[in-house]
Amino acid sequence: MEIYLVGGAVRDRLLGLPPGDRDWVVVGSTPEAMLSAGFRAVGRDFPVFLHPDTGEEHALARTERKSARGHRGFVVDAAPTVTLEEDLGRRDFSINAIAERPDGSLVDPHGGQADIEARVLRHVGPAFSEDPLRVLRAARFMARFAALGFTVADETGALMRGMVAGGELADLVPERVWQELVRALRSPRPSAFLRTLRDCGALAVVLPEVDALYGVPQRAEYHPEVDTGVHVELVCDMAATLAPGDDAIGFAALVHDLGKALTPDDELPKHIQHEQRGVRPVRELGARLRVPAGHRDLAVVACREHLNVHRLAELRDSTVHDLLARCDGFRRPERIGQLATVCEADKRGRTGLQDQPYPQAAELVRLRDAAAAVTGADIAHLELEGPAFGEALRKARVAAIGRARALRRDAG
């Protein structure tokens, strides 16, 4: 039995990145031998085991042979005769196909170290085209590594375009698309995920509502970047900066302007009522990808309300209250903070405006807190019930918003 450190742990060390989870490949062993050594079996599709002491994943070296369409259509061979080089040869990208021996020396049959130095994402071999999920993985790795200067190798981009043209991506299940999207939204540069998919034609397949935004013009005085698709890229990157690793905020940023793709041509470059038009495609995209309810609900709120938040200072006290209530902000205070961040990302996700202040974010949270400080106990002495009680509570909270605003004006 020979054990090697493989994959992301080796890659990230060579890139000088903080270490993450460590994965190991085991050559020359069998499931029975692993169990006898105290490992615990966890693999469903191929033999994976957890180390009895560290809990780290150890997978038997394996090869994969395409047997059907889709990312699960493979026959796996994990016999003890499978070599390390054969296992590395089935991996997606050269930077992920490097193994480290116990003495620290590397096994790198596909030039992964050279590609790390050149900052190139290159597929290992022709078997790459057998798994449509790898197109999304390429885009997701670009979301993570574009900030380090990585680009997709020309031959890899060509292969991805061929896979899309061949209809391979139609076999992807929604859950896997969502998993890759989430990981991209948690990355430093989600825009690279969108651009990589669009360059090979995959964005129109997996996120057609987002792809439809490219080429849609906006008013240059508000959006110097003009193109709505470019704006969404900037917003996603700004969201990743303001809320690193928060995929709920990232998803809301991604879909907040879907309604602009539905603007009639004779209204362009204005987008009247685009926030209302966008709710339906946000819901449809969420249903198709089986997006978690919390992500979907925040996305709908951000789509519907972002213009209201932008003009917060112009809203009446009662309108601010009703905005907070529509967002379920009194029961779910965290949603108002999330909404504020998405709106800030929208406002600052514009060419040349990335450093502009956005006081509406803090003010929205402050007004919510002022209103929420008024509870039913504060009006219990009125001895009201039903709708009358609800209206009295609303009036008291509206008054609290007014007082909070007056204090701010007096202090300013």
Q: Residue 49 is part of a domain; what is its CATH number?
A: 3.30.460.10
Give the domain CATH number at 197. 1.10.110.30
Q: Tell me, yes or no, whether 239 and 345 share the same domain.
A: yes
Q: Is the pLDDT higher at 399 or at 386?
A: 399
Least confident of 44-58, 65-79, 292-306, 307-321: 65-79
At residue 386, the pLDDT reads 86
The band of 75, judged by pLDDT with boundaries at 50, 70 and 90, is: confident
- What are 119's two structure tokens? 């900052």
Considering the domain architecture, whether residues 282 and 347 belong to the same structural domain is answered as yes
Q: Which of 312-321 are b and which e, b meaning 16 or more Cβ less than 10 Å from the residue's Cβ?
A: beebebeebb
Per-residue pLDDT at 78: 84
Domain range spanning residue 118?
1-122
End of a domain among 122, 147, 171?
122
Judge if 192 and 88 occupy the same domain: no
> By mean pLDDT, which of 79-88, 203-212, 312-321 is the weakest?
79-88
Write down the pLDDT at residue 404: 96
Domain boundary (187, 206, 225) is at: 206
**Residue 74, pLDDT above cutoff 70:** no
Mean pLDDT of 60-75: 68
Average per-residue pLDDT in the chain?
A: 94
207 touches 216 (CB < 8 A): no
Same domain, 177 and 258: no
Q: What is the mean pLDDT of residues 55-62?
A: 93
Q: Does 127 fall in a domain?
A: no
Q: Residue 383: pLDDT above 90?
A: no
Higher pLDDT, 390 or 242: 242
Q: Is the same domain home to 175 and 219?
A: no
pLDDT for the residue numbered 266 = 95
In a domain, 379, yes or no: no
Q: Is the peptide bond before 269 cis (omega within 30 degrees of 0)?
A: yes
Percentage of the residues of the chain whose pLDDT score is greater than 90: 86
pLDDT of residue 66: 61
Q: 27 with 6: CB under 8 angstroms?
A: no
CA gap 232, 345 in Å, rounded: 10
Domain end: 177, 206, 235, which one? Answer: 206
With contact defined as beta carbons under 8 Å apart, do 252 and 275 qualify? no
- Please check whether residue 51 lies inside any domain of the structure: yes
- Taking the C-alpha atoms of residue 214 and residue 193, their distance in angstroms, rounded to an integer, is 15
Half-sphere exposure (Cβ direction) of 204: Cα atoms closer than 13 Å = 10
pLDDT band at 355, cuts 50/70/90?
Answer: very high
**Cα gap 406→404, rounded to integer Å:** 5
Q: What is the CATH number of the domain that holds 330?
A: 1.10.3210
**Token representation of residue 140:** 């997701």
Query: At 227, is the secondary structure helix, strand, or coil?
Result: strand
Contact assessment for residue 210 and residue 216, using Cβ atoms and an 8 Å cutoff: no
End-to-end CA distance of the chain: 72
Task: Enter the tokens of residue 132.
Answer: 């449509």
Residue 30 to residues 60, 99, 234, Cα–Cα distance (Å): 7, 20, 49
Is pLDDT of 72 > 60?
no
How many domains in the chain?
Answer: 3
Return the pLDDT at 77.
Answer: 84
**5 & 83 share domain:** yes
pLDDT in tens, 96-147: 999 999 999 999 999 999 999 999 999 999 889 989 999 999 999 999 999 9
Question: 117 and 141 share a domain?
Answer: no
Dist. CA 347–CA 349, nearest whole Å:
6
- Residue whose token pair is 């992807």: 172
Question: Residue 193: its pLDDT value, please?
Answer: 98
Q: What is the pLDDT of residue 412?
A: 64
**Pair 185, 214 in one domain:** no
Domain membership of residue 360 (yes or no) is yes
Give 73's pLDDT tier (boundaries 50, 70, 90): low
What are phi and psi for residue 342, nearest 5 degrees? -60, -45
Query: b vs e for 239-273, b when ≥16 Cβ sit within 10 Å of the residue's Cβ?
Result: bbebbeebbbbbbbbbbbbbbbbbbeeeeebebee
Residue 183, φ and ψ in degrees, nearest 5: -65, -35
Whether residue 389 lies inside any domain: the answer is no
Residue bearing tokens 């249903």: 287
In a domain, 362, yes or no: yes
Percent of the chain residues topping a pLDDT of 70: 97
DSSP state of 261: G
Answer yes or no: is 111 within a domain.
yes
Task: Check whether residue 230 and residue 301 sit in a common domain.
Answer: yes
On whether both 169 and 216 belong to a single domain, the answer is: no
Residues 187 and 229 in one domain: no
For the stretch 243-269, pLDDT in tens is: 999 999 999 999 999 999 999 999 999
Is a pLDDT exceeding 80 seen at residue 181?
A: yes
pTM reported for the whole predicted model: 0.91
Examine the pLDDT at 279 and tell me if it is beyond 70: yes
Half-sphere exposure of 270 (CA within 13 A, CB side): 4
Report the Cα 24 to chain-centroid distance in Å: 27
Are residues 225 and 287 both part of a single domain? yes
What does DSSP assign to residue 2?
E
Check: CB of residue 339 under 8 Å from CB of residue 304. Answer: no
- pLDDT at position 218: 96
Tokens coding 200: 């090979």
What's at 384, amino acid-wise? Answer: L
Q: Could you tell me where the DSSP H helices lie in 260-350?
A: 274-277, 279-289, 293-310, 317-326, 333-348
Please say whether the beta carbons of 277 and 259 come within 8 A.
yes
